[in-house]
Amino acid sequence: MNAETQIKDTITAHDVVLFMKGTKSMPQCGFSSRVAGVLNYMGVEYQDVNVLEDDAIRQGIKDFSDWPTIPQLYVKGEFVGGCDIITEMTLSGELDQLFADSAITFDKDAANKIREANG
């Protein structure tokens, strides 16, 4: 199975997928840690994919999304963005809306606490 097929299969099989450096319990870079931290704190169930374990996936996800950096968040098969975009969406409430519109379970109070702490 090539990287593109593996990526498509992963984002099809899971509602929320984070391609990241490291894992959700042990991120290996600050940007991955920030996005995983937001998702973990908000109680979102997601599949983490450690791109450090597979060079084909690490490059393949960049080619697949035409986005040069990692982490990359996918919701319902659609590319949402990287660390800066996810941070902005979290603080503006857009991420809450995306999860709500996509029927993704998350903790609204936790999302509000993130905004209060960063407001």
Q: Is 83 annotated as a binding residue?
A: no
**50 beta partners:** 20
pTM of the model: 0.96
Token pair belonging to 59: 């490059």
Q: DSSP alpha helices (H): ranges in the chain?
A: 3-13, 30-41, 55-65, 83-92, 94-101, 108-118
pLDDT confidence of residue 36: 98
pLDDT confidence of residue 119: 78
Residues 79, 17: Cα–Cα separation, whole Å: 9
Round the CA-based radius of gyration of the chain to a whole number and report it: 14
Q: Mean pLDDT in runs of 10 for the chain (119 residues)?
A: 94 98 97 97 98 96 96 98 97 98 97 93
pLDDT confidence of residue 1: 80
Residue 60 structural domain: 3-118
pLDDT confidence of residue 98: 98
The total number of structural domains that make up the chain: 1
CATH, residue 8: 3.40.30.10
Q: Are 118 and 91 in contact (CB under 8 A)?
A: yes
